[in-house]
Amino acid sequence: MSLTPTTPRPSVMQLAIKEKAALYAAYIPIFAEGGIFVPTPRDYRLGDDVYVLLTLPDDPQRYPIAGKVAWVTPARAAGNRTQGIGLKFPKDEKSSQLKDKIERILGDALAWDKATQTV
């Protein structure tokens, strides 16, 4: 009997961001396609596929994102940072629209210099 290696299925998470300040803290504008910080106690590696259903402030719609882990904040990270992953949006039209929507919601907040969960 031979065993065929299987590709692990991407993990699926839900992330509901209820306030503009929380969106500011989680959004990753340095990624060309956009990205979002997802707090999670689970261990991930760079390049892992992750599927997130994202809810934005004052918007009942859930936005599906099939992204890749672009950075990892481990447990007990310096500076009391929350454990989680930086998820890079895929390069597609839906992600481009989502990035635009997030940046419209944030507006002037994109220029804030407050600390975030991201870089």
Whole-number average pLDDT of the chain: 86
Average pLDDT over residues 61-82: 88
Query: Residue 3 falls within a domain, yes or no?
Result: no
- Residues ≥6 apart with Cβ < 8 Å to 91: 32, 33
Query: Residue 2 falls within a domain, yes or no?
Result: no
- Domain of 57, CATH number, reads 2.40.10.220
The total number of structural domains that make up the chain: 1
In this predicted structure, what is the pLDDT of residue 1?
A: 47
Coil, strand or helix at 103: helix
Tokens of 10: 């991407």
Confidence (pTM): 0.82
> CB burial class (10 A; 0-12, 13-18, 19+) of residue 50?
buried
Query: Residue 80 falls within a domain, yes or no?
Result: yes
Question: Does the structure show a pLDDT above 80 at 97?
Answer: yes
Query: Residue 31 falls within a domain, yes or no?
Result: yes
What confidence tier does 9 reach under pLDDT thresholds 50, 70, 90? low
Average pLDDT over residues 112-117: 59
Query: Residue 4 falls within a domain, yes or no?
Result: no
Structural domain including 16 reads: 11-111
List, in sequence order, every beta strand (DSSP E) within the chain.
Answer: 11-16, 35-39, 49-55, 62-73, 84-88
Tokens of 67: 């992204």
